[in-house]
């Protein structure tokens, strides 16, 4: 996966579970779980929503890695 993410860390910092974060972002718990595991790259809209909920920038949560892509 070229897209690394720190969503789990930010969620833990906020002290909420996947269900709660999913509810806040308007997606299912499974989707949050897939993003955290790196099995799903969210849309720009969802990434922005998640960043807004966590009160950070998208780049703080998601990191694009060139090395792993090649």
Provide the binding-site residues for another protein, judged by CB under 8 A.
17-19, 26-31, 33-35, 40, 42-43, 46
Tell the smallest beta-carbon distance from residue 69 to another protein (Å).
20
Residue closer to another protein (CB basis): 2 or 26: 26
Q: How far is the CB of 18 from another protein (least distance, A)?
A: 5
Task: Closer to another protein by CB, 16 or 67: give it.
Answer: 16
Each residue of 41-67: b (16+ CB within 10 Å) or e? Answer: ebeeebbebbbebbeeebeebbeeeee
Distance of CA 67 to the CA centre of its chain: 20
């Amino acid at each position: 996966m070229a897209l690394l993410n720190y969503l789990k860390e930010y969620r833990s910092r906020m002290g909420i579970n996947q269900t709660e974060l999913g509810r806040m972002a308007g997606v299912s718990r499974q989707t949050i779980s897939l993003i955290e595991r790196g099995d799903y790259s969210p849309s720009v809209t969802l990434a922005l929503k998640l960043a807004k909920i966590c009160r950070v920038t998208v780049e703080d949560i998601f990191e694009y890695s060139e090395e792993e892509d090649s």
